[in-house]
Chain A
Amino acid sequence: MKKKSKLKFQIISIISLIAFFAIWQLLTDVYRVIPSTMLPSPVKVLQTIGMKWSVKKPDGSTLPQHILASLQVSGLGFCLGAVIGVPLGVIMAWWEKADLSLKPVFDFVRTIPPIAWIPIMIVLLGIGVVAKASIVFLSAFIPCVINSYTGIKATKTVHIWVAQTFGGSKTRTLFKVAIPTALPYIFTGLKVSLNSSWGALVAAEMLGSASGLGYMIQMGRLLSRADLIVVGMIVIGIIGTILSAFLDSLEKIVVKGEVR
Chain B
Amino acid sequence: MEQSGKIGKEKLSCRGITKSFSSSSGNFEVLHDLTFDVYENEFLVLFGPGQCGKTTLLYMLAGLEECTEGEVFHNGEPVTGPAPSRAVVYQTMALFPWMTVWDNVSFSQKVRKAEKKVIAERTQYFIDLVGLTGFEKSYPVQLSGGMKQRVGIARAYCSDPDVLLMDEPFGHLDAQTRYMMQESLGKIWENEKRTIVFVTNNIEEALYLADRIILLSDCPSQIKKEYRITLPRPRSLVSPEFLKLRKEITEQMNMSD
Contacts and interface: CB of A to CB of B under 8 A. Distances in A.
Given A161-B82, A258-B141, A166 B159 contact: yes
A75 interface: no
A257 B111 contact: no
B148 to A, nearest CB: 12
Interface in A156-170: 156, 158-159, 161-168
Interface stretch (A4-12, A25-33, A114-122, A172-180): A172-180
Nearest to A156: B94
Interface string B240-256: 00000000000000000
Contacts of B64: 161, 164-165
B178 to A, nearest CB: 21
Contact of A158 (B94, B112, B139): B94
Contacts, number: 73
Contacts of A125: none
Query: Which interface residue of B90, B96, B99 has the most chain A CB atoms within 10 A?
Result: B96
Contacts of B100: 257
Contacts of B90: 158, 161-162
A161 B88 contact: yes
A260 interface: yes
What interface size band does chain A fall in? 20 to 34
Given A256-B139, A258-B141, A166 B84 contact: yes
A235 interface: no
Most buried by B among A156, A164, A258, A260: A164
A259 interface: yes
Nearest to B86: A165
Contacts of B99: 180, 256-257
Given A158-B92, A257-B139, A166 B97 contact: no
A255 interface: yes
Contact of A257 (B62, B83, B97): B97
B21 interface: no
A176 B112 CA distance: 13
Contacts of B63: 165
Contact of A176 (B92, B97, B111, B141): B111
Interface of A: 156, 158-159, 161-168, 172, 176-177, 180-181, 183, 255-260
14 contacts: A161-B82, A161-B88, A162-B96, A162-B107, A162-B155, A165-B62, A165-B88, A165-B159, A167-B83, A172-B111, A183-B98, A257-B99, A258-B139, A258-B140
Interface of B: 62-64, 81-84, 86-88, 90, 92, 94, 96-100, 107-108, 111-112, 139-141, 155, 159
